[in-house]
Amino acid sequence: MWKEIIGHFNSYVGGGLIFFYYLSAVIFLFITEKRKERRILFIYMPLIVLFIFLNPLTAILMKKFADEDIYYRLLWILPVTITIGDTLTEVIIRFKGKLKVFLVAGSAILLILGGRLVYTDERYSVAENVYHMPQSVVDICDEIVIPGREIRVVFPTDLLVYIRQYTSLIVMPYGWDDIKTYGESTHSDLREIMDSEVPDAGRLAEEIKKKECHYAVLEEGKVLDGKLTDHGLEEYAHIDGYVIYKNPGMDFTDPYRQDY
């Protein structure tokens, strides 16, 4: 159990330099801070959170009744950023003139050295639009969304996390719960087919209809064993490297449209 607890803690700490700054700030405030409310916020509350997190009983209960991700997120309650910023401010305002400028610059350099450029992680990229998501998601959703009603659409895994952020009018036949149960009995057949190296077009079309999906979105380079158009689906559009297939058996009525 302790190995798991320390493992989660190390994952949170990362490189460790920022957390070292945080511990230094807490020690500084413990010695210098006299105001009760600030001691509660910056010293006592974090100590209680750490005690709860490092308590094996907490780990056991979390493992039994909740998700490990929730246990890990207990550490998110620690006011790391606020504490470091507040402490640096408390230190810097004690000085005057050019020394204060040098302290500000030095603090900025230390904080930069404590982290790393987020774009070095392959999971992150420079924002393409104001929504901070792939432009392909915006273009695809704008093309198929029907104002005033929900439609069900099956997307590739790499787009799943973005759809609900952009619009609530598009729902999916599988989501995060299904991703977590991959390979288990509760796993969706549709997702398994979508994620296979060469999906069977017949089975895929059957599942799309079974799940009552209005559209299916696939990468343009995705190789299929057969053609979806041979199994009742229609090729609707090509957008930003993806192919959109339409299920003509579904209702696409726009509730706001009035034909006179």
Q: Is 141 domain-assigned?
A: yes
Q: Is 260 domain-assigned?
A: no
Both 112 and 141 in a single domain? Answer: no
- Position 176 confidence tier, pLDDT thresholds 50, 70, 90: low
Both 41 and 101 in a single domain? Answer: yes
**Residue 35, domain extent:** 2-116
pTM: 0.63
Both 15 and 101 in a single domain? Answer: yes
Q: Is 121 domain-assigned?
A: no
Average of per-residue pLDDT across 66-75: 79
Statement: residue 245 has pLDDT above 90: yes
What span, in angstroms and rounded, lies between the C-alpha atoms of 7 and 5? Answer: 5
Beginning with the edge strand found earlier in the chain, give each strand of the sheet holding 234-239 in spatial order.
Answer: 170-171, 151-154, 215-219, 242-246, 234-239
Q: Is 14 domain-assigned?
A: yes
Predicted confidence (pLDDT) per residue in 199-220, tens digit: 999 999 999 999 999 999 999 9
Both 101 and 144 in a single domain? Answer: no
- Position 64 confidence tier, pLDDT thresholds 50, 70, 90: confident
Nearest to 136 by CA among 125, 151, 150: 125
Burial class (CB in 10 A: 0-12, 13-18, 19+), 183: exposed
Nearest to 231 by CA among 179, 196, 193, 178: 193
Q: Is 255 domain-assigned?
A: no
Both 139 and 74 in a single domain? Answer: no
Task: Check residue 140 and give its pLDDT.
Answer: 97
Statement: residue 180 has pLDDT above 80: no
Q: How many domains does the chain have?
A: 2
Which of 81, 116, 151 is the C-terminal boundary of a domain? 116
The separation between CA 181 and the C-alpha centre of its own chain, rounded to angstroms, equals 17
Both 36 and 106 in a single domain? Answer: yes
Q: Is 49 domain-assigned?
A: yes
User: Any residues with CB less than 8 A from the CB of 142 and at least 6 apart, and which?
Assistant: none
Which of 116, 149, 179 is the C-terminal boundary of a domain? 116
The separation between CA 127 and the C-alpha centre of its own chain, rounded to angstroms, equals 15
Contact 166, 133 (CB under 8 A): yes
Both 192 and 96 in a single domain? Answer: no
Both 25 and 102 in a single domain? Answer: yes
Q: Is 241 domain-assigned?
A: yes
Average of per-residue pLDDT across 159-163: 88
Both 83 and 155 in a single domain? Answer: no
Both 242 and 153 in a single domain? Answer: yes
Mean pLDDT, the chain, rounded, equals 87
Of 35-49, 58-72, 108-122, 222-236, least confident by mean pLDDT is 58-72
Both 62 and 17 in a single domain? Answer: yes
Q: Is 127 domain-assigned?
A: no
